[in-house]
Structures are given as structure tokens and as C-alpha cells.
A and B are shown apart, each in its own frame.
Chain A
Amino acid sequence: MADELLEVTDLTMRFGGLRAVDALSFVARRGEITAVIGPNGAGKTTVFNCITGFYRPTGGGVLLTHADGARFALQRLPGHRIARRARVARTFQNIRLFAGMTVLENLLVAQHNTLMAATGFGILAVLGLSRYPVAERQAIERAREWLDAIGLTERADDPAGALPYGAQRRLEIARAMCIDPVLLCLDEPAAGLNPRESDELNRLLLRIRADGCSILLIEHDMGVVMRISDHIIVLDHGRKISDGTPEQVRADPHVIAAYLGEGDEDEVPAEEVVA
């Protein structure tokens, strides 16, 4: 059941002389939560931007395969098509909600393409002649399901910018899910959350996985990463230094070195110094 969903091969992204991502290859499997971790500046967000079409990679390829066999070379698709055709959704490290629109409107904008198809090029809907009202009712129903899932039904008519921080994070995930993705890319969803909110997030992500959407996750909160990930990829300086299950990664000396630093300090374990 765990076949390849996303294959990244030799992905390279250069900014002038800086190689932010250097010949990175990894695989994310369908139905799994794959975490990408690494110290600050390791190139995690750059990888995300390459996958979701915000950057055009300098080299390498990103191949997405749907369950029905349809394949998409993401490095060549424009950003909006990646979301629409390849059905890859994402959230942002610094929350990007439509702050001046209500929570419900945020979730309806996410269903733009489905709704737009029901308006008959807009002209019929302006004249009130299309099946748009039906489509909108369905969209609202779908939004309401997600609002129930993230516990924001009560606040559906409040502006998104007025929500507390944790709720904004959950809303951004719900909004991304409203495009009906096969792969959800989350950029530090637990940043700034308190422990209770982190637990809620874990439950939400596990629920999304159970519903059949695979997740690619960048996260610093190891509590979240170790508990829910099926597979972890560790980056440092744009290169992959480890790849495996949470247990394997936790035990990998390269990972420990990257996180704690290696050098000539006393606290470095003896065997590291010998090696």
C-alpha cells in the first residue's frame, strides 16, 4: 500500500553562489506522514518552495504520482497548476490567511476552481442563470465539515485576522485541505503552539492521514515529529544526512552531530572524537 507518491531526484536550488539545496533525493510514500527536519538554514523551506512551484529548481526533478497513475513533473508546472491539477496543497511558515475575510470566506476561496466551474464563465451566474447556488451550498457544507474538524464553527463569521494564533494555524491547514489535495505540505505547523494545541494538531494531522491524504511536514517540534511521522528525512546545509523511521533517525550519529554540533568541546562523546 505504501507506494511512491513523491519522488525527488537530484533536486538542486542555487541562489547566486549559495547552494540552498544540493542534489537532494528522497521519496515520500502514499498514506504516510513524511517529516523533513534539520537545523535552521538547512534548506527545508526551499525544498518546499521547489515542490509547490514557488521556486523553479536549478536542477533535478520532482515527480508526483496520483493513485490512478497520473504523473506530474512538478518542477515544470506553474504554481497554481500544482495546486489545481497535481493537487498539492501547502501552508506557510508565517501564516498567510486572508485576514480581512471571514473564516468561512477563507474556506470558500480555497474551493475557487470547483465553484468557478459552476458559474458558466461568470456571466450566467451574474444573471442568476447557473447552477452556482447549488455549488455554493455544497462548498459551504464542505467548509462546515472542516470547521467542525478544527473546532472553529462558532467563529465562522469572524474575520480570520481576529482569531488567536493557534486557531489561525488550524484554519490554514483546513483551508489547504479544501482544495482536496493528495499531498499536504506543512511548513512548521506547530511553531508557536502551546502543548495542548500541539496535541490537537497531532490529532488533526493523523485524521488527515487516515482520510487518505499524505503529508509532508517541516517541523522543529520533535514532540510532534517523533510521535506522528512514519518517515523522517534530515537535511543539513542543503544535503540529506539521514533518512529512515523515527527510531533510526534518532539513533543516527550524523543527526546528533548536526543538531548538537561536533567539534573539540569537552561535551562531545569520546567515540565521536576518536572517529
Chain B
Amino acid sequence: MKSALRDAVLSALVALRPVPVAIAVAAVFVGRLLLLAWRGRSRAAARHANRAFAERLTQAGKYVAPLLLIVALAVPLSGDRYYLHLGILVMTYVMLGWGLNIVVGLAGLLDLGYVAFYAVGAYSYAIISTTYGLGFWTCLPIAGILAAIWGIMLGFPVLRLRGDYLAIVTLAFGEIIRIVITNWVSLTNGPNGISGIPRPTLFGLKFTPAGGPGSFSDFFHLPPSPTWRAVYLYYVILVLALLTNWVTLRLRRLPLGRAWEALREDEVACRSLGINVTVTKLTAFAIGALFGGFAGAFFATRQAFVSPESFTFIESAIVLSIVVLGGLGSQLGVALAALVMIGGFEVFRALADYRMLVFGAALVLIMVLRPRGLVAGRTPTVALGRKREISAELVAQGRG
């Protein structure tokens, strides 16, 4: 599984920018050589320091999560549309990361085709809303449920597969969805995509930039501005992401979530304890897909336009990288990784093409320093006394 994860991340990088990647690879080769020489002298000391660092990071996590939430809630106060749009982008990936974390992090099923559910959600909303004139909030659950059904449909044939084989089939599934969308012109309008998708409304109040009767700014006697819509979209995705997080945290402490983690630890033992492995895996796929579908519907309403180009393999790879870099199964880690990967990418915009180099170097640096992700380790779901963090070395990564 580990090798498949690495392959996914690397192929994503190579697909985006081959030349900077080549430079990065050369730089890393030399750097790693020097690092090994340096480490060879003080290996034991380095390992000890690494563990101490990990413990401190976990401790700090208790304060980081509320802090991040406060910052997230306060972003619209800046009133700057650039930050709002960046915030929306980051939160979308946080939500996708949390959704995929259920499948990859908790159940240990490596899914390289998560973008398929994102696409199903987006196209469900796009088609239903433009055909039947239904609003965003009506279509949101429908889009989620349709994506979950696709999750189950994907789940059935791949249940027998494990590890790398599972990864390859899910990868293929992601491509199948994209190719079907591209070619089923009568339904999806093919490569031209679907435009004119309705924007979300707040209890029927529209967010038209110019204001006018029935608009949000008119109702609350605010000056008409396109910022209101951005603020609203930002809070919508924030709420959706927090919903994903809340449901995941609840499920972890219920038998279903514990069965997912047990499945990741040892599937054979699960079977011997009377756990229906098939159903448990399918629920993980379905619930992960459900949130992917929600995020997809949000994507469609934010853009007001969907086309197959938005749902390529690179999206799956980015979301998977977020989960892996954040630390499999760690909610805080995924949020941090999304912030670093999506937000950090924007920070280096001035570097033009070379930002891929910075990006690649950052990924490699994290992999070297924190091979099990930013926030490794696992918090027990229940305890007789005090809950103590379980170190990542003991926690299995799953083989599908």
C-alpha cells in the first residue's frame, strides 16, 4: 500500500510539470545522500528527537484545532475576496480529505478514484437543477445519495481485492466515470460541460452582485456587492466540512467506526469475531462517497459550470496526498495538510513555474521528517482511565 501511495503522489507531480520535477528529483537525490551521511553518525539520537517532536506535536494539537476553527470562522472578516476564494478552495479540499480519510485512513482501503464521487455529486446537482429547476439545498442530499450509491457499486466488485490491486481498480473507476461523462453527450453535454447551474440561495434570497428585489443585500438593507455571495459560499463549505468532521468523529466512537479500524488492523480477526467484512467495507465506501458527493455538488454551485476537465486523476492524487501527508486517520492532520498543500501552493504563486519545485521539495521534506504524516498516531476511542495516544508504529496502515 505504501508503494502505491508513493506512486500516486509521484505520478501526479510528474503529470503536472515534468522539468521542475526532474530538477527536484536531482536535488533530493543529493540532499538525501548528504542527509544519510549525516544521519549515519547520530542515528539513534535523531530517532529519539523525532519521537519527542511527534509527542510535542500531538500535545500541541489540542490547542491547534480550536485555533484553526477560530481562524476559519474569522476569514470573511477580512472582506478580501481573494482570501475568501482561497478559503473556499482550501475548505473544499479539507472536506474531500476528510471524506477520503474515512475510506483510506479509517478502513484502510486505498482508493485512487475518489474524484469519481466528486464528479458524480457535481454532475448530479448540475443535471437535476438545470433539468427540474430544483435548488441547491434540495439537490444536495440527492447528489450525496447518488454518489453513495456509486460508492456501493464500486465497492461490490472490488471487495475481493487488496492493497495495490484495489488501488488500480479504483483508479480505473475514476477514469471510467470521467470518460463516460465526456462521451455521454446527450446527458452531460460532453466536453463542453454544463453551464448556468443555479447558485445557492439563503432561504430563497438570491446573491445577485447588483442587488435588486429578492436579493440578500436588498432584504438586509446592505450595499449590493459580489462579496456577499463569496462569504455565503465560504460558510456553506465550512459547515459542510465541519459536518463531515463531526460525523466521522461520532462514527469513530461507534461500533461501525471501530469495525473500520479493526478491519484496517486485521481483516481475518474481524471475520473470526462475527463482523461482516463485506458490509463494513461497503459502508466505508458509501459514507466516504456521500461526502465526496456533497463536496461535488458544492463545487458545481460555486462554479456555476462543470466540465469533465475538473475531474481528472490529478484531483484524486491531490486529495490522497492530503490524507497521506496529514497522517492516515487524523482529522487535524488532514486539515493542516490541505492548508499547506492548497494554501501554500497559492503563497508561492509569484515563483511561477518554480513553485512546483518548492511544492515537491516540501512534500519530500515532510515524507523524510514525518514518514507517517504530519499528525501520526491514533487516539483511542474509549478508555477506562485516561486516553493515551497510540504511537504510529503500532497502528496498521491497511492493505485494503
What residues of chain A have their CB less than 8 Å away from a CB belonging to chain B? 52-54, 79-84, 89-90, 92, 96-102, 104-105, 108-113, 115-116, 119, 122, 125-126, 132, 136, 140, 144, 153, 156-159, 161-162, 175-176, 179
With A112-B259, A126-B250, A126-B251 known as contacts, the answer to whether A156 contacts B272 (CB < 8 A) is no
Q: Verify B274–A101 contact, CB threshold 8 A.
A: no
Q: List 22 A-B contacts (CB under 8 A).
A: A52-B272, A80-B274, A80-B277, A83-B272, A83-B273, A92-B269, A96-B269, A99-B396, A100-B395, A100-B396, A102-B380, A102-B390, A104-B383, A105-B382, A108-B258, A112-B259, A112-B275, A115-B254, A156-B385, A157-B386, A161-B394, A176-B272
The yes or no answer to B40 lying at the interface (CB within 8 A) is no
**Which residues of A have CB within 8 Å of B255?**
108-109, 111-112, 115-116, 119
What residues of chain B have their CB less than 8 Å away from a CB belonging to chain A? 247, 250-251, 254-256, 258-259, 261-262, 265-266, 268-277, 283, 378, 380-388, 390-391, 394-396
- A92–B378 Cα gap in the complex (Å)? 25
With A104-B384, A126-B247 known as contacts, the answer to whether A90 contacts B272 (CB < 8 A) is yes
Q: Verify A92–B394 contact, CB threshold 8 A.
A: no
Q: Verify B394–A159 contact, CB threshold 8 A.
A: yes
Q: Verify A159–B275 contact, CB threshold 8 A.
A: no
**Which residues of B have CB within 8 Å of A80?**
270-271, 274-277
- Top-4 shortest CB links A-B: A100-B395, A83-B274, A84-B274, A98-B265
- A54–B395 Cα gap in the complex (Å)? 25
**Which residues of A have CB within 8 Å of B382?**
102, 104-105, 108, 136, 140
Q: Verify B273–A101 contact, CB threshold 8 A.
A: no
**Which residues of B have CB within 8 Å of A162?**
394
**Which residues of A have CB within 8 Å of B276?**
80
**Which residues of A have CB within 8 Å of B396?**
99-100
16 further contact pairs, Cβ within 8 A, besides A80-B276, A126-B247, A126-B254: A54-B272, A80-B271, A89-B273, A96-B269, A97-B265, A97-B266, A98-B262, A99-B265, A99-B395, A102-B380, A112-B259, A112-B274, A115-B255, A126-B250, A132-B254, A158-B388
Q: Verify B268–A92 contact, CB threshold 8 A.
A: yes
Interface centre among B254, B258, B274, B394, by most A CB within 10 Å?
A: B274
**Which residues of B have CB within 8 Å of A98?**
261-262, 265-266, 269
- A190–B331 Cα gap in the complex (Å)? 41
With A140-B382, A140-B384, A144-B384 known as contacts, the answer to whether A122 contacts B262 (CB < 8 A) is no
**Which residues of A have CB within 8 Å of B269?**
92, 96-98
- A96–B271 Cα gap in the complex (Å)? 11
**Which residues of A have CB within 8 Å of B383?**
102, 104, 156-157
**Which residues of A have CB within 8 Å of B266?**
96-99
Q: How far is the CB of A148 from chain B (nearest CB, A)?
A: 11
Q: Verify A109–B259 contact, CB threshold 8 A.
A: yes
- A158–B380 Cα gap in the complex (Å)? 9
- A89–B271 Cα gap in the complex (Å)? 10
**Which residues of B have CB within 8 Å of A161?**
394
Q: Verify A110–B380 contact, CB threshold 8 A.
A: no
- A115–B386 Cα gap in the complex (Å)? 23
Interface centre among B259, B262, B381, by most A CB within 10 Å?
A: B262
- A96–B383 Cα gap in the complex (Å)? 21
- A109–B256 Cα gap in the complex (Å)? 9
- A116–B395 Cα gap in the complex (Å)? 24
**Which residues of B have CB within 8 Å of A104?**
380, 382-384
Q: A84, A90, A140, A157: which contacts B388 (Cβ < 8 A)? A: A157
Q: Verify B381–A119 contact, CB threshold 8 A.
A: no
- A119–B275 Cα gap in the complex (Å)? 15
Q: How far is the CB of A81 from chain B (nearest CB, A)?
A: 8
- A132–B257 Cα gap in the complex (Å)? 14
Interface centre among A101, A110, A126, A156, by most B CB within 10 Å?
A: A101
B395 to A, closest residue via Cβ: A100
**Which residues of B have CB within 8 Å of A110?**
273
**Which residues of A have CB within 8 Å of B390?**
100-102, 159
Q: Verify B394–A99 contact, CB threshold 8 A.
A: yes
Q: B256, B268, B277, B388: which contacts A96 (Cβ < 8 A)? A: B268
Q: B258, B261, B265, B385: which contacts A157 (Cβ < 8 A)? A: B385
